A and B are shown apart, each in its own frame.
Chain A
Amino acid sequence: MHAQTVVARLSPVPTSLVFVALAIVCALFADLQISASDPWADLGRFGWGLLTPDFLHSQNLLSAVLYTVAFGVLGTVVGAVAGFGLALIFRFRIVRLGAAFIRAIHELFWALIFLQVFGLTPLTGMLAIAVPYAGIFAKVYSEILEESDAAPVRALGKDARPISVFLYARLPDAWATMKSYTYYRFECGLRSSAVLGFVGLPTLGFFLESAFSQGYYSQAAAYLILLYLLIATLRVWLPAKLTVPAALLCAFALPSGTGASWESVQRFFSHDIVPAPLRDGIDLGSLAQFGDWLWMLSVNQVWPGLVNTVLITQIALVTTGITTLILFPLISRKFFGWLGVGSGHVLLVILRSTPEYILAYILLQIWGPSMLPAVVALTLHNGAIIGFLIGRTAERLPVREDAPRGLNLYGYEILPRVYGQYLAFLFYRWEIIMRETAVLGILGVHTLGFFVDSAIAEIRIDRALFLLLVTAALNMAIDATSRRLRARMQLKHRPDC
């Protein structure tokens, strides 16, 4: 008999307070100022642009929409198919680690890598979405399969073939959930696809950035509003049944040239990604140089990038949490009338449909460079997502006849019941917030992505790759920490009634 280690349960509220304290410490070291000389005037001009979107003079509207849809749909479908395959063999540690690794790297980073290999081609756009999505699908599918009812499997004989057992007894129970999750991911795929424009692919983000940077706010607004419309009407133009045929159509419609010669692929793997000091062979001298290379890279880029990424992540995690607590009652009839809940829904839909990357870009242009735009963008986007989910739960909670109203209802009845679920979602998104924080560096905030982007601009792919490995490691560490914390707090996604 071996002793069973009993781990004490962590209390949710004190744990939350520790995170708040950490965020306050981080805020002391973070650069959170508005440096633009007249930020509100710019904000006003952009606001005016939003009210007067210019669809007529915006160029390439149709092609931007088509490319956004094509990359988004194709990338999501390929990612889902690959992720399903990975989910079937998810019990192998190497598969779990591999999936964690590919989803730890943001789709924009994947785009930067594939741009080096395949150039500015549709293949780059498709793979940039499909690869990280495959990692996410693998994880979520395997979780769904795990949670599916195991009783039918036990009822079958031990001599039944594994594939038949899976198809008859496991998959049917999980299928509906998997389908609805996959369909939801198309919305994310469209957002990701739009953002790919920021590294040069011809999607909505590309034209939004160029219009915005020239001060054509009404045109920029047109691209943004088109993105909202695309996402809002997804269920109309892409019914769940048509997703796979649509993906096939996209695959055939896109120009097929890879733009990559075999040599360029070969060069990428045998030369570009090899640390510069080691390219001419490995001997004592080059190893010593490699040591220096590693040291300089760590001190000058990895360390500052890591510190800034963690600072912003921890601040944004807590501000997201606070914002969620304010936002979720907005969509519940328990707190507001029809009109209030209606406008609450509109606000949350707009906030969560705006990719944090685009939001951060706009705020950076308006407020000037600091960590503030990144924190605010992450907070608004993620707060709206979790706020929507918690608000929906709160709305469904049965409340006794004699329950209090207003703030008392919030504090005594609703919040204590949804708090576990709220923390579970927040910790779930911790890793996502970090991944986004890293990638916001491309916009100029000095997180890890900033150094990755600079290295690629200097065609120092070896450095970029090393920085990306560090980024992935940080992300996997946060993922693991979050999982342990959720287990220690026994957080479930369901509300405590």
Chain B
Amino acid sequence: MDFRLKDRTLGYAGKAVLENLSLHIETGQKVSLLGRSGAGKSTLLKALYAQSQNRAALIPQDTALVQTLSVFHNVYMARLHIHPTWYTLRNLIWPARAEIQAMTPLLQRLGLEHKLRTAVGELSGGQRQRVAVGRALYQDREVLLGDEPVSAVDERQARDVLALICERHDTLILAMHDVELALAFSDRIIGLADGRIVLDEAAANLRSADLKFLYQGEHAASQSEAADAQASPPDPIALESY
């Protein structure tokens, strides 16, 4: 499917992050979004996902997995919309053999086949991220949208996972943290900075040195972000049960 944005201003909580944005992404393109944190990659992905009308699968940045459920359940969530509710609730309590078998090849490719019944909360960060990728791939949608889908996975596995993603999806839009990986696995690079698109080129025409300018001042930015993310005061909610 095609994605079209015309003169759109995107943001959250009343704050504009990207202004007067126009963008056209065609079917079959593998696009990487680059830019330092806060440049608006996630905002753009969310807008594209909102436009996709159930034709795209999403890998959110914070993985959004359910820690207390097993790997099977977290990946199986991808297909909840296909089955009747009684059947999905039955699989929540007692996974059907057929469902496990159907999922096994994918889990093997992700190196998770032995963790099928392990609660996600007990996995490492890299393993969790692969579960999140698995959940998105298992949806079998036309398009895959991913927000830094391999940021916590080591270099070699990251290449395997991206290869798998490319194999399963012709149309990809991924926010990427790693310039080399972006150049290796996509055919179009979109660079974001200062609330707008500052670069839109075929990956074949670019080398990693050409993209350095996107990340100038990164250090200062991430520091102020850390200050924003300071923990909120503890919640007295628990006490009210007494």
- Tell me the A residues contacting B by CB distance below 8 Å: 136, 140, 144, 147, 176-177, 180-181, 184, 385-386, 389, 392-393, 398-404, 406-408, 411-413, 416-417, 419-421, 424-425, 428-429, 432, 493-494, 496-497
Contact = CB atoms under 8 A, between A and B. Distances in A.
A177 B92 CA distance: 38
A321 to B, nearest CB: 13
Given A140-B239, A401-B50, 20 more contacts: A144-B239, A176-B236, A177-B236, A389-B237, A389-B240, A389-B241, A392-B237, A399-B64, A400-B60, A402-B49, A402-B58, A402-B139, A407-B85, A408-B89, A412-B80, A412-B92, A420-B68, A425-B238, A425-B241, A496-B121
A177 B77 contact: no
Nearest to A428: B241
Contacts of B240: 181, 184, 389
28 contacts: A136-B242, A144-B239, A176-B236, A180-B239, A181-B236, A392-B237, A401-B50, A401-B58, A402-B49, A402-B58, A402-B139, A403-B64, A404-B77, A404-B81, A407-B88, A408-B80, A408-B85, A408-B88, A411-B89, A411-B92, A419-B68, A424-B238, A425-B238, A432-B242, A493-B237, A493-B238, A493-B241, A494-B235
B69 interface: yes
Interface in B82-140: 85, 88-89, 92, 121, 139
Contacts of A420: 68
B234 A393 contact: no
Given A411-B89, A412-B69, A496-B121, A400 B239 contact: no
Given A402-B57, A496-B67, A429 B241 contact: yes
B55 to A, nearest CB: 12
Nearest to B233: A176
A420 B57 CA distance: 29
Interface of B: 46, 49-50, 57-58, 60, 64, 66-69, 73, 77, 80-81, 85, 88-89, 92, 121, 139, 233-242
B88 A412 contact: yes
Given A406-B85, A407-B89, A412-B73, A180 B236 contact: yes
A176 B235 CA distance: 10
A407 B85 CA distance: 7
A176 B236 CA distance: 9
Nearest to A180: B236
A420 to B, nearest CB: 7
Contact of B80 (A393, A404, A494): A404
Contacts of A428: 241-242
- 9 closest cross-chain pairs (CB), A and B: A493-B238, A400-B64, A404-B80, A416-B68, A408-B80, A425-B241, A181-B239, A416-B66, A416-B69
A136 B235 CA distance: 19
A400 B58 contact: yes
A417 B66 contact: yes
B68 A393 contact: no
B67 A497 contact: yes
Given A400-B64, A417-B68, A496-B68, A386 B46 contact: no
Nearest to A139: B242
Nearest to B45: A401
A36 B58 CA distance: 59
User: Which of B50, B68, B88, B139: most chain A Cβ within 10 A?
Assistant: B68
Nearest to A412: B77
A416 B238 CA distance: 18
A353 B239 CA distance: 17
Nearest to A103: B242
Nearest to B58: A402
A399 B6 CA distance: 28
Contacts of A432: 242
Nearest to B86: A407
A453 B57 CA distance: 65
Nearest to B89: A411
B237 to A, nearest CB: 6
B213 to A, nearest CB: 31
A401 B60 contact: yes
Contacts of B121: 496
A52 B99 CA distance: 57
A53 to B, nearest CB: 29
Contacts of A393: 237
Nearest to A497: B67
A144 B238 CA distance: 11
Given A401-B60, A404-B81, A413 B66 contact: yes
Contacts of A416: 66-69, 73
A2 to B, nearest CB: 28
A386 B241 CA distance: 7
Contacts of B81: 404
Nearest to B139: A402
B63 to A, nearest CB: 9
A399 B242 CA distance: 28
Contacts of B66: 412-413, 416-417
Contacts of B68: 416-417, 419-420, 496
Contacts of B241: 385-386, 389, 425, 428-429, 493
